[in-house]
Amino acid sequence: MKVERIGVVGAGQMGHGIALVAAEAGFNVVLRDIKKEYVDKGLSRMEKFLDRSIEKGKLTAEEKKEILDRVEGTTKLEDLKDVDLVIEAIFENVEAKKELFKELDRICEKETVFASNTSTIPITDLASATDRPELFIGMHFMNPVPLMKLVEVIRGLRTSDETAELIKELAVKMGKTPVEVNDGPGFVSNRLLMPMINEAIYCLMEGVGSAEAIDNVMKLGMNHPMGPLELADLIGLDVVLNIMNVLYEGFNDSKYRPCPLLKKMVQAGYLGRKTRKGFYEYRRE
Ligand SMILES: NC(=O)c1ccc[n+]([C@@H]2O[C@H](COP(=O)([O-])OP(=O)(O)OC[C@H]3O[C@@H](n4cnc5c(N)ncnc54)[C@H](O)[C@@H]3O)[C@@H](O)[C@H]2O)c1
């Protein structure tokens, strides 16, 4: 198993970051989204990040050009036919992801490894849409990709040892630290993070503390860089609710029930930073 060319599907928040760290690590990248404007937006976000690195003196203009030259944008899925690895980063929707992997299974060589950046969808389930479950794995980058060290590497029930080793080596080449876990609702990252955020929302709803008090306890007392409510606003309250529902349904356990205040905020359209109002108010997204 050798990886030289990487296909990244989805040029959004995560996809453009994954394409960037892959190109910075020297891989040739094909970045695919459904519309040209989304591909272009992904490419320009990559360029802006590299420009900031130049301003900080971490990169030269020549290096920036070399990195961007390694990335080819496309709207055609067929352009991924000769990549060695596909990293999928499209919407968090199980049907859409399975449909995409089914197509990729047909288009790509039978040795091509498939990785999903899903936050919550069982890897074993996604792998079942393909005829290569041994070559299928979760590669869960954190947001923002260029800055966060962790890659949670999730083995599906049928993922081979070779695939897991390959993905861990690749993560290291991309400057990340891989942590291997097994498949399960929310994996490890969201299984721990989301119930903490949900509990913070219960504390707020029950009047145990103000939003500021709750966040300050966790920042000053537990050394968390952000409080749970600030973090929920950053992630998006709709995303938090969706993940809590995945945990609740995945385990059929009432300990994961989403807080009623979280549901109410989402119904009201208060989704956090992206709507300028969540547990706090924001002037800008
Ligand atoms: N945002 C985060 O904090 C975060 C963190 C870790 C993992 N994730 C996961 O990463 C994935 C992507 O999330 P995001 O925040 O980047 O979403 P996003 O909405 O920013 O980007 C998704 C992109 O995928 C594109 N897309 C949809 N269907 C496509 C298809 N069939 N082919 C190609 N492109 C397609 C969309 O046009 C969009 O540009 C999700 O599975 C999410 O759960 C997100």
Query: Domain coordinates of the chain in residue numbers?
Result: 5-182, 190-275
In angstroms, rounded to a whole number, what is the distance separating the alpha carbons of residues 19 and 70? Answer: 10
91 token code pair = 């919407």
- Residue nearest to ligand 1 atom 25, measured at CA: 10
Domains 5-182 and 190-275 share a fold: no
Cβ count within 10 A of residue 177: 11
Fold of 5-182: Rossmann fold (3.40.50)
Active-site annotation, residues: 119, 140, 152, 190
Ramachandran area for residue 92 (φ above 0: left; ψ -120 to 50: alpha; else beta): beta
State which ligand 1 atom lies nearest to the alpha carbon of 14.
16
Reported in sequence order, the residue ranges of 163-242 that DSSP labels E, i.e. its strands, are 177-182
pLDDT, residue 1, reads 79
pLDDT, residue 222, reads 98
| Gap from CA of 10 to ligand 1 centroid (Å) | 6
What does DSSP assign to residue 277? B
> CA triplet 30, 33, 36: central angle to 5 degrees?
100
pLDDT, residue 285, reads 73
pLDDT, residue 16, reads 98
pLDDT, residue 133, reads 98
In angstroms, rounded to a whole number, what is the distance separating the alpha carbons of residues 167 and 117? Answer: 12
Cis peptide leading into residue 258 (ω within 30°): no
State which ligand 1 atom lies nearest to the alpha carbon of 42.
39
* Whole-Å CA distances, 54 to 49, 57, 64: 9, 5, 8
Output the ligand 1 site: residues, CB below 6 A.
9-15, 32-34, 38, 89-92, 96, 100, 117-119, 140, 143, 235
Judge whether 15 and 33 are in contact, CB under 8 Å: yes
| Gap from CA of 3 to ligand 1 centroid (Å) | 23
**CB contact set of 269 (below 8 Å; sequence gap of 6+):** 275
In angstroms, rounded to a whole number, what is the distance separating the alpha carbons of residues 151 and 181? Answer: 10
pLDDT, residue 199, reads 98
pTM attached to this predicted model: 0.94
In angstroms, rounded to a whole number, what is the distance separating the alpha carbons of residues 22 and 5? Answer: 9
Using DSSP's 3-state secondary structure scheme, residue 31 falls into strand
Judge whether 120 and 94 are in contact, CB under 8 Å: no
Cβ count within 10 A of residue 170: 24
User: Selecting from 2.40.37.10, 3.20.20.120, 1.10.1040.10, 1.20.1440.130, what CATH number does the domain 190-275 have?
Assistant: 1.10.1040.10
Per-residue pLDDT of the chain (285 residues; tens, 9 = 90+): 789 999 999 999 999 999 999 999 999 999 999 999 999 999 999 999 999 999 999 999 999 999 999 999 999 999 999 999 999 999 999 999 999 999 999 999 999 999 999 999 999 999 999 999 999 999 999 999 999 999 999 999 999 999 999 999 999 999 999 999 999 999 999 999 999 999 999 999 999 999 999 999 999 999 999 999 999 999 999 999 999 999 999 999 999 999 999 999 999 999 999 999 999 999 977
| Gap from CA of 267 to ligand 1 centroid (Å) | 22
In angstroms, rounded to a whole number, what is the distance separating the alpha carbons of residues 217 and 229? Answer: 11
